[in-house]
Chain A
């Protein structure tokens, strides 16, 4: 029965198309001096609130635009716009993540060349967005205290692909059994280079330090 079956070498990266598109997009962004930050987190971790608290502190130094990605709805973009920052809403129509093509479409629609920094608020989940490169200069994630300190064990890829981690809702620490030392050890086990900030977007604790670091990071790329 197996007569005639032959083996063909393929050796191709399955995500190569997206990876190439992301690389090209990143080069174009660097060329126009626009820093793209891809922000990822679970639903309810405080992405939009953290963006708002960050904008308050960085828009004096940087011209910032926000791209909100959600499966459906435009409430996030409306909140950002109400606070005085330009925002565009991408409705992914069921897609659980943003890929480089979708990001390019959004960036072009918002005429991205005008901005020093574009914050992409990716679709809320810790699985799918980690798999697809977006063209961003930096991947950032938020993990909120009520989610638990075991998340690096459950979603290692997300913790591996990010360069910076905001531990949000630290004002909840006393109400939970979240162990910050154990959590950080679990993160650093997967990603020894991860930069970690402990913040509360609601009270503002730790946000100044994060905002200063982000501003310096953006300036180091755009000059």
Chain B
């Protein structure tokens, strides 16, 4: 349900960059979205098609790259990917440490866009 404010924000940012770069048409928008996000790809495209109608971004395709959830071991600094769905306690693959902090997985970034 929270796709709409996210999509409105995407549209605002890409139109700003389109104006700066004297773009005629936005063809595709490349996004990086972390594994923690519940946003649904198809739903995002539908909302985007709706809010972008009549703008330079009308018809643009959202290309969504999912960024894995990665933790860094507090003890040895090693970074490793975790599976959010299996529920087992993550253990550092290098030293066996059990205390970690999140490095990635919460991204919401517009990487770049293909334009005419």
Contacts and interface: CB of A to CB of B under 8 A. Distances in A.
Interface stretch (A36-44, A62-70, A124-132): A124-132
Given A127-B1, A185-B89, A192-B100, A7 B36 contact: no
B110 A153 contact: no
A4 B116 CA distance: 6
A99 B2 CA distance: 11
A192 to B, nearest CB: 6
A155 B36 CA distance: 8
A141 to B, nearest CB: 15
A173 to B, nearest CB: 19
Interface string B80-113: 0010111111100000001110100010111111
A174 interface: no
Given A14-B109, A152-B87, A185-B89, A5 B27 contact: yes
Interface residues of A, number: 36
Interface residues on B, range: 35 or more
The listed residue with most B CB atoms (<10 A of its CB), out of A17, A132, A150, A190, is A190
Contacts of B102: 160
Given A11-B110, A157-B36, A131 B2 contact: yes
Contacts of B69: 156
Contacts, number: 98
A14 B89 contact: no
Given A9-B112, A15-B6, A192 B98 contact: yes
A16 B34 CA distance: 15
A30 to B, nearest CB: 23
B37 interface: yes
A42 to B, nearest CB: 14
B85 A157 contact: no
Given A10-B13, A10-B111, A17-B9, A127 B38 contact: yes
Contact of A14 (B6, B17, B86, B88): B6
A12 interface: yes
B67 interface: no
A110 interface: no
Contacts of B116: 4-6
Contact of A189 (B13, B17, B23, B87): B87
B38 A10 contact: no
A128 to B, nearest CB: 4
Interface of A: 4-15, 17-18, 96-97, 99, 125, 127-128, 131-132, 150, 152-153, 155-157, 160, 182, 185-186, 188-190, 192
10 contacts: A5-B115, A10-B13, A10-B110, A11-B110, A15-B6, A96-B1, A96-B2, A99-B5, A127-B1, A186-B87
Given A127-B2, A152-B87, 16 more contacts: A5-B114, A5-B116, A8-B112, A11-B110, A12-B109, A14-B10, A14-B31, A14-B108, A14-B110, A18-B9, A153-B85, A156-B84, A157-B38, A157-B106, A189-B87, A192-B100
